[in-house]
Structure 1
Amino acid sequence: MKKVSFIHAADLHLDSPMAGLRELPQPILKRLRESTFAALRKIVDAAISNDVDFVILAGDLYDGDDRSLKAQSRFRTEMERLLEKNIAVYAIHGNHDHLQGTWVKIAMPDNVHIFGTETGAVRHRAKSGAEVWIYGFSYPSRHVTEKRIHTYEKRIGGDFHIGILHGNDGSSSEHGNYCPFTVGELADKQFDYWALGHIHKRAVLSENPPIIYPGNIQGRNRKETGEKGCYLVQLGENGAQLDFIEAFDVIWKEAEISAKGARDFDSILRRCLDWKERLRNNGTGVLLSITLKDVNLEDGSEWDSLHGSLAELIQDGEEGESSFVWTHRVAIEEEASWKREELAAESDFYNELFQLAGKFDDINDVLEPLYGRLPGRKYLSRIEKDEGNRILAEAEHMLVHLLREKG
C-alpha cells in the first residue's frame, strides 16, 4: 500500500532572546532561553522513534535574519541526528529568517533541502515506494505581502503532493499579513496536505484536504499559552491521520482563582498554592499568570499591606525546581462594593468620570505616541483588546476605590 509519514513543525524561532523577561530568576530565564533548542530535540526524537520518511519545517527556523551561530550549530547537530537515520528534511525560511539578511553561514548536512526564493518542487521516494512531490519557497525578504499561491503548480504523476507555505489566512491579527491566502485557494490546488507556518496558534483550517498550522514549538511569552509542538502525519489511500506531539520544555499558563468566601490573607494564599500544585508538569516548567477574582477580606487594611507579598510567597522555593511553576504575574480583582450605575446616578462627578472612561475603546490609542517613536516602538508591542479592556477596568476600579476611600 502506498503511504508516507512525516513530521510537520513550524516557527522554531531558535535562540529567541525572550525579550522583556529579565525579571525572571536566572535559572528559569536560562531554561526558557534554551527551551527552543530542547523543543527541537524532542521533535527530532519523535521523528526517529516514529521512523518517518521526512521532516517538514514550515518557516521561521531562526528568530532573526542574522541567524546566530549558536542557533545554526544546534540546528545542524539535530539535522545530523536525522541524517544518521536516513531521514530527509524539507524546510523553508519565513519572514523572520528571510534570505535577504546577512550572516556567517554554517553548512547543513546533505539530508537538508532548503527551498529557494522561487517556488520549487522536490520529489521524494518514501519507504513504501510512494512518490511524493513537496513544494515550497523561502522568503526573499522580510515583507512578502503579495499572494504566492498561484506559483504552486502541481506536477504530473506522483502519489502524494504536499505544499509548504508560510503565510496568513487572515484569521489572526497578531501576525503580519504576509503571503496571504484563503482556504479555498489552497484546496483548489488539489494537494494532499498543506504544511503551514507563521501563525503561532495551532489550527486545523481544513480536514479534507488537511490544511494545518502546527503552531510554534515553544511558547515565548504569556500570549503564547498552551501545549506547543508538532504533528505526526500519515498519508495513505484512505486519507490522513494526524497526531499532535508535545515538544515544549516550558509552558505558559493562565489561572483564574476565585477568592469568594476567603476572609483572610492566608486563605487566599492557600488557594493559590493549591492551584500551583495542580498545574505542575512532570519534567517541564510552567510560567503562570494568576487572576485573583472576588477579593473581599474582612480586614481591608490587612490586604492593603500584604497583597504585594502574595506573588513572592507563591514563588518561594521554585527557583531550584526542574518542574518549576513560576508565578510571573498576579492580577487582583476585588469584589466591588459599588455599582457603576448607582454611582453615576447619585453624583455628577462620577457620571462624568464614567463617560470619560467610556471614550477609551482601545488602550492602544492612548499609547500610540509611544508606539510611533523611537526608542519606545523598539521595545513595545501592541496590547491585545482583551488585555487592554482588563487594564482599563482595573484602572477604573482602582480610581473609584481611592476616591471613595478618601471621601
Structure 2
Amino acid sequence: MKKVTFIHAADLHLDSPMAGLKNLPEPIFARLKESTFSSLRKIVDAAISNEVDFVILAGDLYDGEDRSLKAQSRFRAEMERLLGKGIPVFAIHGNHDHLGGSWVKMQMPENVHIFGSKTESVLLETESGAAVNLYGFSYPTRHVTERKIHTYEKAAGGDFHIGILHGSDGSTTEHGSYCPFAVGELLEKQFDYWALGHIHKRALLAENPPIVYPGNIQGRNRKETGEKGCYLVSLDEAGANLEFMETNDIVWHEADISARGITDFDGIYRLLLKEKEKFRRVGKGVLLSVILRDIGLAGQDELDSLHSNLLELLQDGEEDESSFVWTTKVQVLEEDSWERGDLAGEADFYNELFQVADGFGPASEVLEPLYGRLPARKHVSTLGKEEEALLLEEAERLLIRLLRN
C-alpha cells in the first residue's frame, strides 16, 4: 500500500511587526517579535523528526509584500536544513506576500518550489515510490477576488492529488474575501487532500477528502487566541490521518471571570492570581486578556484601586519569567445597582440618553477615521461584534456612573 506523509502549514507571517504591542516589557516584546521564526523552526524540526516526504506552505509566508531581508534569510536557512535531509517544499504566496510586491530577492535552495501566478501541477516521486501531483498558484497581486477553483484540473496518473489554495470559504468576515470557494467545488475535483491557507483559525471543512485550514503558526494579537501550529498528515489508499502539532512560542488567551460575592479588593486580587496560574505553561509565554464581571465592592477607594492598580499588580514580576503569563488588559464590568427602566422613569434626560445609545451605529463607524488612514491603521486592529458590544456597554456604564456620582 502506497503512503505519503507531509507537513501542512500556512500563514507564517514571518517577521510580523506585532503592531500595537510595543507597550510590552522589552524581554516579552523581543520574544514575541522572534516568535514567528521560532514557530517556523519547530515546523522544520517536526518535518525532520517525522521523516516526512515533503512540506506544504499554503501562503502568506511573509507578513508584507516587501518581504524583509531578515525574514527571507531566516526562511532560507530553515529550507536549507530541509534540503540537507532531502525534504522538498511546495509553497504558494498569498495576499500578504503576493508576487506583485517590491522586495530585494534572496535565492531559495533547490528543494523549494514556489508556484507561479498561474495554476500549475507538479509531480513528485517520493523515495517510497509514490507519485504525488500537487496543484497551486501564487497571488499575482494583493487582491485576488475572483474564483480560481476552476483552474485546478486533475492531471492524469499519480497516486495522490493535493490542492494548495489560499482563499476564503466565506465562513468568517475577519479576513478578506480573497479567492472565494465553496466546499462543494473542492469536493468535485476528487483530490485526496486540500491544503488551505488564509484563515487564521484552525478548521476541518470536510473529512473525506480532508479540506483543512491549519490556522496560522503563531498568534499575533488578542483575536488569535489558543494554540497555533500545523498538521502532520499521512495519506494512503484507506484515507488520511491528521495530527495537529503546536508550534507557537507565545499563546494568546482570554479569561472571563466573575467576582460575584467578593466584597473586598484583596479577595478579587487573589481570585485573579489563582485564575492566572491556570494558563501558565512550561516553556511557553502567555498573553492574557481578562474580562472581570460582577464587581460589587462597597468602598470607593477599593473600586478606584481596582481600576488603577489591579493590572500592574497582576503584571508584577512576570517580565522575568521564561514561562510568563503577562496580563495585557483587565476590562472591569461593574455590578450596577441601577436599571435602565428606573433611570428612564427618573428623568427625561436618561430616557433620551438611552434612545441615543440604542441608535448608536457600529463602533467601527466612529473609529473609521482611524482605520481608514494609512499611518494609524497599521497599528490598530479592527473590532469584532462581541468586542464592539462590550465597548459600548462599558461606555454606557461609565457614563451613567459619572452622571450619578
Pairing 1:229-378 to 2, within 5 Å after superposition: 229-378=229-378
8 A Cα contact 2:20 2:380, kept in partner: no
Distance 1:69 1:378 in 2: 20
In the alignment, is residue 46 of structure 1 matched against residue 46 of structure 2? yes
- Which amino acid in structure 2 is aligned with residue 89 of structure 1? V
Aligned to 1:129: 129
8 A Cα contact 2:166 2:196, kept in partner: yes
Q: Judge which range, 374-383 or 393-402, deviates more.
A: 374-383
Aligned to 1:74: 74
- Which amino acid in structure 1 is aligned with residue 165 of structure 2? L
> 1:172: how far off?
1.4
Structure 1 residue ranges without an equivalent (≥5)? none
Structure 2 residue ranges without an equivalent (≥5)? none
CA deviation profile, 1:308-337 (whole Å, cap 9, x unmatched): 111110001111111110001110011111
8 A Cα contact 1:215 1:230, kept in partner: yes
> 1:306: how far off?
4.7
Figure out how many residues of one structure are paired with residues of the other and give that number: 405
Distance 2:73 2:377 in 1: 32
> 1:151: how far off?
0.8
8 A Cα contact 1:315 1:326, kept in partner: yes
Distance 1:18 1:369 in 2: 22
Distance 2:289 2:8 in 1: 30
Aligned to 2:155: 155
Aligned to 1:2: 2
SS at match of 1:12: coil
Distance 1:211 1:113 in 2: 22
> 1:164: how far off?
0.2
Distance 2:209 2:302 in 1: 60
Aligned to 2:385: 385
> 1:254: how far off?
0.4
Pairing 1:71-150 to 2, within 5 Å after superposition: 71-150=71-150
CA deviation profile, 1:111-167 (whole Å, cap 9, x unmatched): 111111111111111233211100001111111111111111100111110000001
Aligned to 1:169: 169
**Cα separation, partners in 2 of 1:150 and 1:6, compared to 1, 3 Å:** same
> 1:378: how far off?
4.6
Give the TM-score of the pair, scaled to structure 2. Answer: 0.98
Distance 1:366 1:306 in 2: 28
SS at match of 1:313: helix
CA deviation profile, 1:293-319 (whole Å, cap 9, x unmatched): 111113233221453111110001111
SS at match of 1:211: strand
8 A Cα contact 1:4 1:127, kept in partner: no
CA deviation profile, 1:269-291 (whole Å, cap 9, x unmatched): 11111111111011010000011
SS at match of 1:15: coil
Aligned to 2:203: 203
CA deviation profile, 1:240-278 (whole Å, cap 9, x unmatched): 111100000000000112111111111111111111111
8 A Cα contact 1:58 1:164, kept in partner: yes
Distance 1:225 1:371 in 2: 22
- Which amino acid in structure 2 is aligned with residue 64 of structure 1? G
